[in-house]
Amino acid sequence: MYNLKMEFTKSLIKGKLIKRYKRFFLDVKLKKEIITAHCPNTGSMKGLLDAGNEVYLLKHDDPKRKLKYGVEIIKAKENLVGVNTHRANKIVHHALENNLMKELNNNEKINSEVFFNKETRFDFLIEKKGQKSFLEVKNVTLCRDKKTSEFPDAITSRGSKHLLTLIDAINKGYKAYLIFLVQIQNMEFFKIAKDIDNEYYKNYLIAKKAGVKFLAYRCNVSPEKIYIEKKIKIINE
């Protein structure tokens, strides 16, 4: 549902959030009706689910889909937030191809969803001048003050596992990067939400010391398109 410029190929439909339930369902009030939309985000979506929040939906034409609408953006605390986690890797892939992240420019090869071992696959394996690097992407939607984004929004044992496996990749000769993709307007900073998952914070510090490179990039989020816009500072290092 994106074109090569990361624009939505159809206009999004604005509604008002009523409630989320069973993780995958969101009831939304449109102009003349209440519909149930698919929620493509299994996280807690902490801070995003207040009744009355603006919601932007994409209408699907596939007759096989049970739910005709999918949630793409929610407006919370005056900021538009991209909540479709399936978009995150597409946004990063677009950035890699178009050299929008200076630390990861001019790659000769970009491969998606590559297995590192039998249990773990990372979002990207990139190669430049003979050096291979694994890249993992974490979608960020949590904002508890005006300018600072945070991850995670709930305890994530899977996230901790990824950190420790990135260390293993370094020990086997790869470079390792983790990108916190901030799909929230107006953010200037990023930090680990250690009050939510202190174990993840501890593993973040271990991975950083071991050589994993951490980057936080903010997206430009609008009902027309979502793309990487700016690197922001990680403040709890």
Same domain, 101 and 46: no
- Nearest CA among 211, 119, 193 for reference residue 156: 193
CATH classification at residue 49 = 2.40.50.580
Q: What is the pLDDT of residues 113-141, one digit of tens each?
A: 999 999 999 999 999 999 999 999 999 99
Beta strand ranges found along the chain (DSSP E): 13-21, 25-29, 34-38, 54-59, 69-76, 79-82, 109-115, 121-128, 131-140, 142-143, 148-151, 175-182, 189-192, 213-221, 226-231, 233-234
49: tokens are: 């689910």
Q: What is the pLDDT of residues 167-191, one digit of tens each?
A: 999 999 999 999 999 999 999 999 9
- Nearest CA among 99, 104, 103, 80 for reference residue 8: 80
139: tokens are: 């979608």
47: tokens are: 């801070």
CB 54 within 8 A of CB 92: no
Q: Is 3 domain-assigned?
A: no
Q: What is the pLDDT of residues 45-93, one digit of tens each?
A: 999 999 999 999 999 988 888 999 999 999 998 999 999 999 999 999 9
Question: Averaged over 143-163, what is the pLDDT?
Answer: 96
**Structural domain range at position 25:** 13-78
Same domain, 178 and 95: yes
> Is 147's pLDDT higher than 70?
yes
Same domain, 68 and 143: no
Return phi, psi of residue 90, to 5°.
-65, -40
Q: Out of 34, 58, 78, pick the residue that ends a domain.
A: 78
Same domain, 98 and 122: yes
224: tokens are: 């027309």
What is the rounded distance in angstroms from the CA atom of residue 213 to the CA atom of residue 218? 17
Confidence of residue 237 (pLDDT cuts 50, 70, 90): low
State how far the alpha carbon of 50 is from the alpha carbons of 28, 53, 87, 213, in Å. Answer: 12, 6, 23, 35
Q: Is 186 domain-assigned?
A: yes
- How many domains does the chain fold into? 2
